């Protein structure tokens, strides 16, 4: 009986260790609504987000891209859906990507967060929560750069910086 308990505990420990790295959910959402004659912020964010996920996958990471339109009207619902998807996929890391205009500065940002267990009554795990950022990299560019940037190139460079920081 004792041997079976030890074997079961070891199996659970090994399963937890294998799942500890889990996947990475790469989530992108813009902050600026697209205006007539202006940049297509949703397209820029989608391209940036997809390129970050591609770079992580090329490094052997299990990465899943997910992006939301700037027209998202319920940020709380989007956040709950994001965490539910990360939990469903077994992700333990969230990489947030965004491209936006901040008071006349074109900003491209990548932030990595741990996804931590959310405890409910009786210390039961009831989902995930986002921890404090583990890594941040950002590019601040002149607003005119929006017409000529290639978000895929900057995304690959910024994701490579993250990978250098997060050697597994």
List, for residues 50-108, the tens digit of each pLDDT value. 999 999 999 999 999 999 888 776 778 888 889 999 999 999 999 999 999 999 999 99
What is residue 72's predicted lDDT score, i.e. its pLDDT?
A: 72
In a domain, 27, yes or no: yes
Number of domains in the chain: 1
Q: Which domain holds residue 91?
A: 22-165
Position 34 in a domain: yes
Determine if the pTM surpasses 0.95.
no
CATH number at residue 52: 3.40.50
Residue 110 has pLDDT above 90, yes or no: yes
Query: Do the domain assignments include residue 17?
Result: no
pLDDT at position 58 is 97
With respect to residue 126, please indicate whether it lies within any of the assigned structural domains.
yes
Residue 104 in domain:
yes
Asked if the structure places residue 10 within a domain, the reply is no
> pLDDT tens, 13-52?
333 333 346 899 999 988 888 889 889 999 999 999 999 9
DSSP the chain: -HHHHHHHHHHHHHHHHHHHHBEEEEEEE-SS---TTS--HHHHHHHHHHHHHHHHHHTT--EEEEEE-TT---HHHHHHHHHHHHHHHTEEEEEEEEEEEETTEEEEEEEEEEEEEEE-GGG-EEEEEE---SEEEEEEE-GGGGGT--HHHHHHHHHHHHHHHS--
| Domain-located, residue 7 | no
Residue 1 lies in a domain: no
């Amino acid at each position: 009986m004792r041997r079976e308990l030890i074997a079961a505990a070891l199996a659970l420990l090994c399963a937890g260790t294998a799942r500890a790295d889990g996947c990475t959910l790469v989530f992108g959402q813009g902050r600026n609504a697209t205006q007539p004659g202006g940049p297509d912020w949703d397209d820029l964010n989608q391209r940036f987000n997809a390129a970050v996920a591609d770079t992580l996958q090329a490094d052997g990471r299990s990465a899943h891209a997910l992006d939301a339109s700037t027209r998202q009207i319920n940020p709380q619902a989007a956040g709950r859906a994001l965490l539910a998807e990360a939990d469903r996929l077994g992700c333990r890391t969230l990489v947030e990507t965004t491209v936006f205009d901040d008071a006349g500065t074109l900003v491209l940002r990548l932030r990595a967060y741990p996804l931590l267990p959310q405890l409910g009554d009786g210390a039961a795990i009831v989902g995930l929560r986002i921890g404090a950022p583990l890594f941040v990299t950002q590019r601040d560019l002149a607003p005119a750069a929006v017409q000529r940037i290639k978000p895929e190139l900057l995304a690959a460079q910024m994701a490579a910086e993250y990978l250098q920081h997060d050697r597994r």
